[in-house]
Amino acid sequence: MIVVRAAAGSIVVASAIVIAALAPSRASAQVFGAPDEPVQELVAQDAPEELEEPPEESLRPSGALGAHLLIADGLDLGGLVMLDVWAAWQWLRIGGFVGAGAIPSERDASNRVMMPLGISASAEILTESLAVSVRLRAGLWGGATQAEKLTAGPFFGAGCYLGFVLGHGALLNVGADVWGVIGSEAWSDTSGPDAGVSASTWVIAPGVGLSWTPEEGG
């Protein structure tokens, strides 16, 4: 009987030890610092945020249309309409131009209609309300004068413009160009009495117009 009681007591003690091992108390959790928040939340908080890469600059279509008063040789007045079509990248615009106009004059060699055509480039600095641009052009002009019915020659120039922001990429531009118009007198014989040539001239061309470049992301 003594042996049986001793064995029973040993079984009870062993069962108590096993139960205590399988079910840890709250006190033991506090001792070992068990976290109250899930581990996944802590990992998410410690993970660094991914930085978004800025969008890459891309080419955008751009253009300008302007009307000019022409002052040639200080005496002759005329007018011309000019269209520029560009590819824009950041502050740079590169493309081409075409125009049509006339400069009436009492001198047959300077009384001309002309259509300039060529390449153009522009640099534009834009703020929230204003823009400043410099434009360069080079190409040819074709047309006629009173003295020479069909003629052509080199055309080149530069201009500076102040733009007022209208919104949605549109600008109202005011400025002036200076153009060189080279006539056939530069390479033709003008000594004969019947020589028909077109005169070369410098042209001051103040103008006003609109330009447009799509906004980034628009």
**Residue 102 pLDDT class (50, 70, 90 cuts):** very high
pTM for the whole structure? 0.71
Neighbours of 51 (CB within 10 A): 6
List % helix, strand, coil for the chain (3-state, nearest 5).
Answer: 15, 50, 30
Q: Tokens standing for 175?
A: 């400025």
CA separation (Å) from 106 to 77, 130, 157?
Answer: 11, 41, 25
Determine the Cα–Cα distance for residues 68 and 80; give it in Å rounded to an integer: 5
**Residue 3 pLDDT class (50, 70, 90 cuts):** very low
Listed range (11-15, 30-34, 84-88) with the worst mean pLDDT:
30-34
The reported pLDDT for the residue numbered 195 is 63
Determine the Cα–Cα distance for residues 146 and 164; give it in Å rounded to an integer: 40
Listed range (22-26, 75-79, 126-130, 192-196) with the worst mean pLDDT:
22-26
Of 137, 136, 74, 140, nearest to 110 by C-alpha is: 74
Determine the Cα–Cα distance for residues 17 and 93; give it in Å rounded to an integer: 85
The reported pLDDT for the residue numbered 213 is 85
Find the mean pLDDT for residues 160-174: 95
CATH placement of domain 60-212: 2.40.160.20
**131 SS3 class:** strand
Domain locations in the chain?
2-46, 60-212
- Ordered DSSP codes for 132-171: EEEEEEEEEEEEEESS-SSEEEEEEEEEEEEEEEEETTEE
Indicate the helix (H) or strand (E) that contains 174: strand 170-181
Determine the Cα–Cα distance for residues 200 and 183; give it in Å rounded to an integer: 4
